[in-house]
Amino acid sequence: MADDPVIVARGLRKSYGRGRVLDQLDLTVHAGAAIGLLGANGAGKTTLLKTLLGLIPLDGGRTTVFGQPSSALPPEVRQRLGYVPQTPAQFSWLTGRAMLRYVSRFYPTFDWDYVHSLSTRWKLSLRTPIGVLSPGQQQRLSIVRALATRPGILILDEPIASLDPATRIAVIDELTAERARRPLTLIFSSHLIGDLERLCSQLAVLSAGRIAVLEEVQWFRGLVRARLEADEGLLAGVSVPSAAMTRKSGEGRRVVLLERAIADRLRATLPTSVNITIDQPDLESAASEWMS
Amino acid sequence: MDVLKAWLTLWGLLLRRPVISILLGMVYLTTVLLIVVAAPGKRGALVALMSAFVAGGLSAVLSERIRRHCLAAGSLGIPGHSQLMHRTQGLFLILFVAAPGVVACALGLSPLTTAVTLLLGPAVGIALSVYGLWWIMLVPALGRFDTHTEWVSLPITQAAGAAASLWFIWRWFELPGRSERIGQEGPVRLGDSRHERAIRHSGPVQRSNIAVDLFDPHAHDAVLPTIDPNIEAERTLPAAFATGLGYSVRTNWRFTAYGTAAGMTALIGWHVLRGGQAEITSYVMICMVCGVSLVARLQSILQRWMRTSTEQAILRIAPLWPDPAQVKRAMLGSTLLVQRGALAAWAAITLCGWALDLVSNTCVFRAALALAGTSLAFSGSLWATLARRQVREWHTATVAIGITVGSGALIAAFGAPLLSLHVALGLALMLAAPAAALAWYLLAPARIPISVDPRALSSRPTSI
């Protein structure tokens, strides 16, 4: 069932010292979804992804993967999980081949044919010590390692930040092809919105410890940005109920993201003393508004 | 304003730490008590000696912190950072060397003796921190002079010692600039938020006891086939973890044999040179080497577990990753396995010395206590550290275990005139804290991947 939730997070809370990173966060990921996770530096993307995998203890809330609590996932659920961490240098004291052989001991379904196919296409040397590979090569190896376990859910934490454009495209293409070949749910954290746009069907923005918005990529593309300028007292009385997002950008200034049709209606109904300009933001600008 | 900044830096780097503050308070309290009961003529020497110990310990810690901060400052390009560190170092010397020196002189100690005592402390601390522990192997050479202590009081010796210490301290001021330059040149990975602080990528050149394996990247390829394909078999888990997390539980028996032979040669050679049965200096040094080796192996396990949280995260979600109880038992096995070599070498050397009547029974007993205490204290500290929710740089538990085990060993070894059951009491004290740490480790939830406070991760070693 494509609509079955495979990951459910409810009321997640996590703090580091006095800084609260996740604050009553809710998230539902359905089978087959490809979610691009966006957020400012330090917003808690890595923490959220680790929390979903049960790798760090929570201060509150609960997460389940395939209905099982993340803190105690049974082997049959772990078999279906793949994870590419943010840090590319993993097992740096081993060669690529030794690392893959080592990891394969923990996975009954490790796919060596796929490893050979990918390493050939991505020009990966498996005989070189991982510690002396470039960060980009290390990251490619990490992705190969995760894909070779044939996961049903693949969680990637900024996996392509250190890759050159050609390799980034190759990775995106491979992930897209994998999704076409078999059921694969993706959660992909990145700051590169162009890549997320190519790969993901949905975008989620993490802000102030919560998922501020989780919508289809098309929905983001359809938004327009209205900038309102007027006396602060007057603007305080203006409300846009159907707005996707409203932000105070200064004294007497508001930025509102909303659908084109609603923006036109808003322009018609606003008092003339309110100056309104409407533009069409690109996907990156639109998503960034939630992070401002 | 500069002095205030230097003070705040010194406070932040050194004095703010509870462990340091508590230890400092204890040392000063002890000093005051000793001064009260000491003869007037000895008070100056007492102040100088205690202050030298304090300055030595603090300078070692301060050097390590300066180096780490300067590496980060160099990578970030913070202007004027090394100048601030120089002022901090100067303030440290004023507070912990010059001020006690004035007090010692006022209490009647000669200026030259004061100078050499107080300068030697920080010089040794700096050398320990910057050059590592290997040079301590040179200490046995001093054994040649241990029966001729009058040379220490010669003005020329003291002047030479003071000059050498001053040179060390002078070179210490180059540490901030040098570390910043290394920070500028080296690849530094910076996290994207406060809780993911800048951590130096340790890479393949970090300190480890598997240096040979690091330079021979195919070594682990050779190891892997020897691991049972059924990774869940508990018998092989310590070896499997070691391979995955970058350390080794294997004992290099050939190296152990060489070390044993060298130790025996040193013991016999020393006896030939010096004569006499109770030639304990060389034996004590050999025992110290065994102890240092044992501690290094245990620390390497802790360091690797602290530095491999990413690898642990990858393995933790694997379907055949063993259950927490198995992981704990494997860790326990690892801590015992890595001590085999050092203990075997010590046992062989001791047996040889005892059979040849080179060391007395009492000496063997005390050495056994010292080595057992070292093993228990550091194993207990390791278990207590891994039992915690977050691994930090210092734990009260570590200090408590060290003090309890040390006290137990001292009571067992030297408590005869005071206590009739001193051996039993001492052994009980030695075992109590590590046993408690082990129970804590076994009862606490398994923390995998280990959550590590970034401050607990040390930087790559540098030299001045």
Please report, for the domain that includes residue A193, its CATH number: 3.40.50.300
Cα–Cα distance measured from residue A83 to residue B315, given in angstroms and rounded to the nearest whole number: 10
- Give the integer Cα–Cα distance in Å for A46 and A161: 14
**Residue B400: what residue type?**
A
Are B158 and B236 contained in the same domain? no
Q: In the predicted model, what is the mean pLDDT of residues B8-23? A: 84
Mean pLDDT, residues B403-416: 86
B463 occurs within a structural domain: no
- 42-71 of A, contacting B, C-beta below 8 A: 42-43, 46-47, 50, 53-57
pLDDT higher than 60, residue B51: yes
Contact pairs from chain A to chain B, CB under 8 Å = 111
Domain that holds residue A253: 223-289
Domain at A280, CATH number? 3.30.70
Same structural domain for residues B160 and B300? no
Residue A101 lies in a domain: no
The last residue of a domain, from among B153, B185, B217:
B185
pLDDT over 90 percentage in chain B: 22
Mean pLDDT confidence for B7-26: 84
Judged by average pLDDT, the poorest of A72-76, A254-258, B186-190, B422-426 is: B186-190
The answer as to whether A17 is a domain residue is yes
Q: How many residues does chain A have?
A: 292
In-domain check, residue B112: yes
Q: Pick the residue of A66, A73, A106 with the most B CBs within 10 A to test the interface with B by mutation.
A: A106
Q: What is the count of structural domains for chain B?
A: 2
In this predicted complex, what is the ipTM? 0.90
pTM here is: 0.70
User: Does the pLDDT of residue A253 top 80, yes or no?
Assistant: yes
Tokens of A222: 């359809």
Q: Which of A183, A218, A253 is the last residue of a domain?
A: A218
The answer to whether the Cβ–Cβ distance between A16 and B229 falls below 8 Å is no
**A20 and A86 inside one domain:** yes
User: If you average pLDDT over residues B6-27, what whole number do you get?
Assistant: 84
Residue A83 with chain B: CB contacts under 8 Å: 313-314, 317
Claim to verify: residue A53 and residue A82 sit in the same structural domain: yes
Per-residue burial over A85-118, b if 16 or more Cβ lie within 10 Å, else e, is: bbbbbbbbbbbbbbbbbbbbbbbeebeeeebeeb
With 80 as the cut, is the pLDDT of residue A87 above it? yes
**A260 inside domain:** yes
For residue B350, name the pLDDT band (cuts at 50, 70, 90): very high
Domain boundary among A184, A202, A218: A218
| CA torsion through residues A43, A49, A51, A52, sign | positive
- Which pLDDT belongs to residue B279? 58
Residue B194 domain-assigned? no
**B192 lies in a domain?**
no
A contact residues 180-219, partner B, Cβ 8 Å cutoff: none
Q: How many domains does chain A have?
A: 2
- Pair A188, A282 in one domain: no
Residue A137 to residue A132: CA distance in whole angstroms: 10
Residue A162 and residue A283 in one domain: no
Where is pLDDT greater, at A104 or B1? A104
Q: Are residues A77 and A191 part of one domain?
A: yes
Which chain B residues are Cβ-neighbours of A54 within 8 angstroms? 316-317
The predicted-structure confidence for A9-29, as pLDDT tens digits, reads as follows 999 999 988 889 999 999 999
- Per-residue pLDDT at B460 exceeds 70: no
Whether residue B451 sits in one domain with residue B314: yes
Chain segment B96-135, per-residue pLDDT in tens? 999 999 999 998 888 888 898 889 889 988 887 777 655 5
The answer to whether residue A145 sits within a structural domain is: no
Asked if residue B196 is part of any domain, the answer here is no
Last residue of a domain, one of A203, A218, A233: A218
* Any domain includes B249: yes
For A155-164, the pLDDT digits (tens) are: 999 988 778 8
Q: How confident is the model at residue A288 (pLDDT cuts 50, 70, 90)?
A: confident
State how far Cα B458 lies from the chain centre. 13
Chain B residues with CB-CB distance to A90 below 8 A: 310-311, 314
CA dist., res. B10 & res. A287, Å (int): 45
Flag whether B200 is in a domain. Answer: no
Mean pLDDT of chain B: 79
Domain holding B399, by residue range, is 209-456
Assess if residue B195 is contained within a domain: no
Q: What is the pLDDT of residues B176-226, one digit of tens each?
A: 988 888 877 654 443 333 333 333 333 333 333 322 232 333 444 444 444
Per the CB < 8 Å rule, is A79 touching B319? yes
Share of chain A above pLDDT 90, in %: 59
Residues B171 and B302 in one domain: no
Cα distances from B150 to residues A101, B39, B153, B276, in angstroms, run: 64, 22, 5, 22
Helix (H) or strand (E) holding A62: strand A60-65
- By mean pLDDT, which of A171-180, B53-62, B131-140 is the weakest? B131-140
Flag whether A128 is in a domain: no
**pLDDT band, very low/low/confident/very high, at B36 (cuts 50, 70, 90):** confident
pLDDT over threshold 50, residue B435: yes
* Mean pLDDT of the B401-405 span: 89
Asked if pLDDT for residue B43 goes beyond 90, the answer is: no
Are B312 and B435 contained in the same domain? Answer: yes
Residues A84 and A156 in one domain: yes
d(CA A229, CA A218): 28
Tens digits of residue pLDDT in B234-243: 347 888 888 8
Give the pLDDT confidence score for residue B422 in this predicted structure.
83
